[in-house]
Structure formats: C-alpha cells, structure tokens
Amino acid sequence: MSTALESKIRIQREDFVVTDEIEAIKKVSRNIGGIVTFLGTGRELSKGENITQLNFEHYPKMAEKKLEEIREKAIQDYKIIDMIIIHRIGEIDIGENIVLIVAAGEHRKEAFVACEWAIAELKRITPIWKRETTSNGEVWVQATP
C-alpha cells in the first residue's frame, strides 16, 4: 500500500489508514501546530433509500490533476503548511473509508478553513462519480448534500 510519504495526492482502490497519513504529514514540518482531517465514509441511507453498495469511478489523470490543483490552492490561499488528499475508487462497502483530507497548519484556524474548502472543491470540480446500489436498482449520484 502506498503512503502519504510517496504521494500527497492519491486515487486508489485499497483502503488507507488515517493515523498513518496524520503521522506522515506531521513529519513535513516541526512548525505544524494544528492538523484537521475530513474522513468521508460509506453510509447506508441516502435520500430515503437503503444503500447496499457504492461504486466510484474517475477520469484518470484529470482527477489527479484536479486534486493537485486543490492541494496547491489550499496551501497558497489558506497559508497551511501541507495537505494530503486521498480518494478511493471501485466498490466500497457501507462503513468503509472513501475520502480523506488532512490539512496541516501552523494554527488550527487556517487548517479548519482549508480542509472544509478542499472537500467542497473536491466535490465540485473533481471528475469522480458515485453510483449507489439500492433495493430499487443503481443510481448515479448527481449532487451530494
């Protein structure tokens, strides 16, 4: 399994370990005073429908490019020290990890703002698509709450 030390931006099928990613980003700078994480997981209920399976597809190379743009903009605009963004693709079971954003800043405020902005921007511009399997069939999710 790859680690954050290998790449700060990853799209992968395999799961990730949140604590490993936090430990990796802590090694970037001794000036990190606050780390904020967002962890998205598979939920079993969406728009009143029970979900039995999730499947994520992406546009290779373009999705990675967009995630790198998000990371660079977060570092520049919110003055954080570093950021890791990981998104899984393929079949994801309910309760499994889907996406992780780790924002590290000198102070907590910029890390919180950068992390919140990054997940919103990821959902807005990254070509990663979610298909939910329910008892009524499969549904491509157009917008997320």
Kindly report the CATH number that applies to the domain delimited by 9-140: 3.90.1170.40
pLDDT at residue 5 above 60?
Answer: no
pLDDT at residue 143 above 80?
Answer: no
| Per-residue pLDDT tens over the stretch 101-121 | 999 999 999 999 999 999 999
What pLDDT does 145 receive? 44
Q: At 91, which amino acid appears? A: E
- pTM (predicted TM-score): 0.92
What pLDDT does 49 receive? 85
Domain boundaries, the chain: 9-140
pLDDT at residue 39 above 50?
Answer: yes
Question: What's the average model confidence in pLDDT over 22-49?
Answer: 95
Question: What's the average model confidence in pLDDT over 61-86?
Answer: 98
pLDDT at residue 144 above 60?
Answer: no
